Amino acid sequence: MKTRFFVVALLMAAVTFSACPSKKSSENTIAEFKVNGVRYTVANDPGTITHFYPKTPPTGGATVGTWPTRPDSWPTVSSSIVEVVPTSPKATHNLPSTLNFSSPVTFTVTAENGDPKTFTITVTSGELN
């Protein structure tokens, strides 16, 4: 009798736990965003990714040969050199296969629970003051 009661209790517990849905993550933010190894500034609220390239390298620092390529010399890049690291490993993104930085680029990060968040990438170039 005790064995039968134990088996029934065990089966009821198994059914109860398997019937409880697991809570899906609502994280749809970005921890890191890089293009060709260069880190861009991410502001998860309001959903912006920005980067500023000076037209000339700073003095006393990098030489022209090691200075990161500016967006005006490669306005269109392949997403294969772009690294998007969502905060949650279960989040996905729809980054385009090519990105043209001559104007803002938008894409969406979708949380595991389906909540989307749109990000806008803006790259500018100019002289440092």
**What is the residue extent of each domain of the chain?**
24-126
Report the distance separating Cα 22 and Cα 63, nearest Å.
Answer: 53
What is the enclosing helix (H) or strand (E) of 121?
A: strand 116-126
Q: What does each of the 129 residues of the chain score in pLDDT, given as a tens digit?
A: 556 655 555 555 555 555 556 799 999 999 999 888 888 899 999 999 988 776 665 555 444 444 455 555 556 788 888 999 999 999 999 999 998 887 889 999 999 999 999 999 988 776 655
Amino acid at 72: D
89, two tokens: 């490993």
Q: Which CATH class is domain 24-126?
A: mainly beta
125, two tokens: 């170039």
CB-hemisphere CA count at 13 Å for 118? 4
* Other C-beta atoms lying within 10 Å of the C-beta of residue 90: 12
The predicted model scores a pTM of 0.69
